[in-house]
Amino acid sequence: MVSHTLAASPDDSQSWLAALAGQYTPDQIALLARAADWLAGHAGDLTSDSGAALAQHSLATAALLAGMQFDADTVAAALVCGLPDAQLGRDKLVPLLGERAYGLAAGAARLRQMDHLLSEVQGEAGDQSEALRQMLLAMTDDIRVVLIKLAERTQALRELAAGAASQRRKVAQDARDLYAPLANRIGVWQLKWELEDMACRYLEPDTYKHIARLLDERRLDREWYIERVLKTLSDELEQAGIAGASITGRPKHIASILAKMRKKHLDFEEVYDVRAVRVLVRDLKDCYHALGLVHSLWQPIPGQFDDYISRPKGNGYQSLHTAVVGPDNKALEVQIRTFDMHQEAELGVAAHWRYKEGGKGHQQTDKIAWLRQLLAWKQELSDSGELAQHFKNELFQDEVFVLTPQGKVVALAQGATPIDFAYAVHTELGHRCRGAKLDGVLVPLDTALKTAQRVEILTVKQGGPSRDWLNPHLGYLRTHRARSKVRQWFRQQDIDTHIQEGRAQVERELHRLNLSNVNLDKLATRLKFAQPDDLFAAIGRGDLGSGQLERVLDDEFVPAPEKPIIATRKGKTGPSGVIIEGEGNLLSHMAGCCKPVPPDEIVGYTTLGRGVT
């Protein structure tokens, strides 16, 4: 079985640096030596939260990153970032380590507050975990800062094997809730698996030991079985002309086995990947060729095939997964991927900082096309000369993440103020806001918030917002939600005035149209208001114009004109041959549009100068 382990903790910095001579240039070794000397000279008797000496803890973290082939700036930053803030001043570290290494060290030092934050929100609602992961990423300008933090937490878990149980559980819970999912999100599975396994070991020791015992009891049989599979598959690939393939047994991760058992309600014997192999090939076409060979050798298990090559996971992971009924009718999982896919699957983002000797000894990186899918980043990178500038976190550039006094994370638009924060928490809190504290310090209400600040709102028992808050030039409000809530408050407060003004307008219109005894309830209903006061308020606010009111009054309440004269009784015949009741010799005129035939009854109306038409 192949076991993937990270670099061991070095006992001596000099011997460790000597071992790195083939990996880094002399200038880079000199940089690491200066960082190690600075650590040794200032760590003193300080300890990490795992209880280990800070000097040894930082050296082991740096060794872990060096083992993952990180660049010298990242490793140097890992050596010094755990020191107190007083030892991390720009004036001290830039001359010693350079601008890039200092920026990484300062960013990693900022993330130390995450450990304190997690202890405060322990037990909060589960949806806070994703907000915390986002806040951690938003605090970094360079993704390597997050990777330094992940390596440091991995080392802390290693050291806690002999530590206090309470601290072990606390660090393990943080790893399970925040750091392992974060490692998965950025695709660093080499750290993800170790974080998950150690967290499971500390948080569920009995269950962990049970699964480990079941694995160990069958270890010899399983290894013998895997050897048979490897021999069969290797011969088949060779005969098919797939050269350069590597076939190994896949390492067993207890946390993943346990998670699969729980998710799918399976017994240990029903978990397919207890027996598993991994096939690495050179080209993409060989992946699918190898898949066909596997399925021709052994019967596929329905519903157990996943093509993560044509449809990669969100973190960029690519591989073919299939489960088959292998020899002796035992379930067998097979993973197939290229060597490049495997490197990215194990190291994720870290794979793109693996040191390569160039003509001038400079570090180079591959293009990171999949970063556009990961966290919605939009840039493709090819030259790492100025990585800190290129790796601005695009996903969170328009957001800040701040904390309530209880430790809950609130996401706001960039430039949001304490008043925006108050309205985001609760509308009434925004209405009664009169002051704010950021990290315990009083600030003006137009202060722009920054990620990771703790915001406390000072309120009055009664009151409402100021009209100045709606003035865009004063900068009190930046979010649409807050502005909407303030406008809504003022509309509600002015409703009495609006009702009076609206009632007066309606009365003037009724007087102009010479209307009396108009049913106001009917009028309100006709205009789609529940009651007359709502109608008056809308007119007073200007939401309903006088033209709309006039049209409805005309249609519904202005009486129709009087009925015209109707000829119903025969009388004398006028000059036009029309008999008009009760009148004789009355001037009359037949309209051109009418063609009546006697004795049809017709109607007429009086006109000026022409009698009855």
Backbone angles phi, psi at 281, to 5 degrees: -125, 170
Compute the half-sphere exposure of residue 79: CA atoms within 13 Å on the CB side of its CA: 29
118 and 131 fall within a common domain: yes
Q: Which residues pair with 325 in a beta bridge?
A: 299, 331
SS3 of 12-54: the string is CHHHHHHHCCCCCCHHHHHHHHHHHHHHHHHHCCCECCCCCEH
304 and 180 fall within a common domain: no
Residue 495 in this model has a pLDDT that exceeds 90: no
181 and 32 fall within a common domain: yes
Give the tens place of pLDDT for each residue, 451-487: 878 999 999 988 889 888 988 888 899 888 899 899 8
Q: Which residues pair with 246 in a beta bridge?
A: 280
Query: What is the pLDDT, as a whole number, of residue 338?
Result: 93
60 and 170 fall within a common domain: yes
Grade residue 396 by pLDDT with cuts at 50, 70 and 90.
very low
The helices-and-strands tally (H runs, E runs) of the chain is 25, 15
Q: Do 296 and 308 meet the contact criterion of CB atoms below 8 Å apart? A: no
- Collapse the DSSP code of 200 into the 3-class scheme (helix H, G, I; strand E, B; otherwise coil) and give the result: helix
Query: What is the pLDDT, as a whole number, of residue 472?
Result: 83
State the average pLDDT over residues 523-550: 83
Q: Calculate the alpha carbon distances from 160 to 63, 164, 171, 232 in Å.
A: 18, 7, 9, 42
State the average pLDDT over residues 388-394: 36
Residue 567 in this model has a pLDDT that exceeds 60: no
Q: Do 595 and 577 meet the contact criterion of CB atoms below 8 Å apart? A: no
Q: Do 567 and 579 meet the contact criterion of CB atoms below 8 Å apart? A: yes
591 and 519 fall within a common domain: no
Q: Is residue 238 part of a domain?
A: yes
State the average pLDDT over residues 204-227: 79
Of 197, 192, 171, nearest in space to 349 by CA: 192
CB atoms within 10 A of CB 176: 19
Query: What is the pLDDT, as a whole number, of residue 374?
Result: 36
Q: Is residue 229 part of a domain?
A: yes
Give the tens place of pLDDT for each residue, 117-166: 555 555 454 456 666 666 666 666 677 888 899 999 999 999 988 777 88
Question: Percentages helix, strand, coil for the chain, rounded to the nearest 5?
Answer: 50, 10, 35
550 and 576 fall within a common domain: no
Q: What is the distance between the alpha carbons of residues 5 and 191, in angstroms, rounded to a whole number?
A: 10
- Which residue type does 81 have? C
178 and 269 fall within a common domain: no
State the pairing for strand pair 276-281/331-338.
parallel
527 and 566 fall within a common domain: no
Q: Which of 152, 169, 202 is the last residue of a domain?
A: 202
Residue 326 in this model has a pLDDT that exceeds 90: no
Which is more confidently placed, 167 or 136?
A: 167
Q: Which two tokens stand for residue 558?
A: 């202005």
257 and 280 fall within a common domain: yes
Residue 52 in this model has a pLDDT that exceeds 80: yes
Q: What is the distance between the alpha carbons of residues 135 and 464, in angstroms, rounded to a whole number?
A: 32
Q: Is residue 151 part of a domain?
A: yes
Query: What is the pLDDT, as a whole number, of residue 530?
Result: 87
Of 612, 196, 91, 135, nearest in space to 409 by CA: 135
State the average pLDDT over residues 561-566: 58
Mean pLDDT of the chain: 78
Determine the straight-line distance between the first and last CA of the chain, rounded to whole angstroms: 113
SS3 of 131-180: the string is HHHHHHHHCCCCHHHHHHHHHHHHHHHHHHHHCCHHHHHHHHHHHHHHHH
Print the domain residue range for 406.
Answer: 398-493
Query: What is the pLDDT, as a whole number, of residue 95?
Result: 92
| DSSP codes of every residue in 466-524 | -GGGG-TTTT---SHHHHHHHHHHHHHHTHHHHHHHHHHHHHHHHHHTT--S--HHHHH
Q: Which of 443, 465, 493 is the last residue of a domain?
A: 493
Of 195, 34, 23, nearest in space to 105 by CA: 34
Q: Which of 128-137, 149-158, 273-282, 560-569 has the highest mean pLDDT?
A: 149-158
Q: Is residue 385 part of a domain?
A: no
| DSSP codes of every residue in 97-137 | H-HHHHHHHHHHHHTHHHHHHHHHSTTS-TTHHHHHHHHHH
Residue 316 in this model has a pLDDT that exceeds 90: no
| Four-point Cα dihedral 432, 438, 441, 443, nearest 10 | -60
Residue 354 in this model has a pLDDT that exceeds 80: no
| DSSP codes of every residue in 380-411 | -----TTHHHHT--GGGTTEEEEE-TT--EEE
State the average pLDDT over residues 158-182: 85
Q: Is residue 377 part of a domain?
A: no
State the average pLDDT over residues 581-597: 71
Query: What is the pLDDT, as a whole number, of residue 541?
Result: 74
Give the tens place of pLDDT for each residue, 217-231: 566 777 788 888 999
Chain CA centroid to CA 134, Å:
7
For position 82, which CATH number holds?
Answer: 1.10.3210.10
State the average pLDDT over residues 540-550: 78
Q: What is the distance between the alpha carbons of residues 184 and 347, in angstroms, rounded to a whole number?
A: 10
Q: What is the distance between the alpha carbons of residues 565 and 322, in angstroms, rounded to a whole number?
A: 95
71 and 197 fall within a common domain: yes
State the average pLDDT over residues 523-528: 84
Residue 381 in this model has a pLDDT that exceeds 50: no
Residue 378 in this model has a pLDDT that exceeds 70: no
Q: How many domains does the chain have?
A: 5
Q: What is the distance between the alpha carbons of residues 278 and 14, in angstroms, rounded to a whole number?
A: 38
88 and 195 fall within a common domain: yes
Q: Which residues in 333-369 are b (16+ Cβ under 10 Å) and which e?
A: bbbbbbeebbbbbbbbbbbbbbbeeeeeeebebbebe
State the average pLDDT over residues 193-199: 89
Q: Do 418 and 479 meet the contact criterion of CB atoms below 8 Å apart? A: no
Q: Which of 32-41, 429-438, 498-507 has the lowest mean pLDDT?
A: 498-507
- Cβ-in-10-Å burial (0-12, 13-18, 19+) of 179 comes to buried
Q: Is residue 390 part of a domain?
A: no
540 and 476 fall within a common domain: no
Residue 371 in this model has a pLDDT that exceeds 80: no
Percent of the chain at pLDDT exceeding 90: 24
In angstroms and rounded to an integer, the radius of gyration of the C-alpha atoms of the chain is 40
Which is more confidently placed, 525 or 116?
A: 525
Query: What is the pLDDT, as a whole number, of residue 398?
Result: 62
Q: Is residue 211 part of a domain?
A: no
Q: Which two tokens stand for residue 21?
A: 């001579």
Token pair 């009784």 is found at: 569
Q: Which of 441, 470, 493 is the last residue of a domain?
A: 493
Q: Is residue 355 part of a domain?
A: no
Query: What is the pLDDT, as a whole number, of residue 558?
Result: 65
Give the tens place of pLDDT for each residue, 409-436: 888 888 899 999 999 999 999 999 999 9
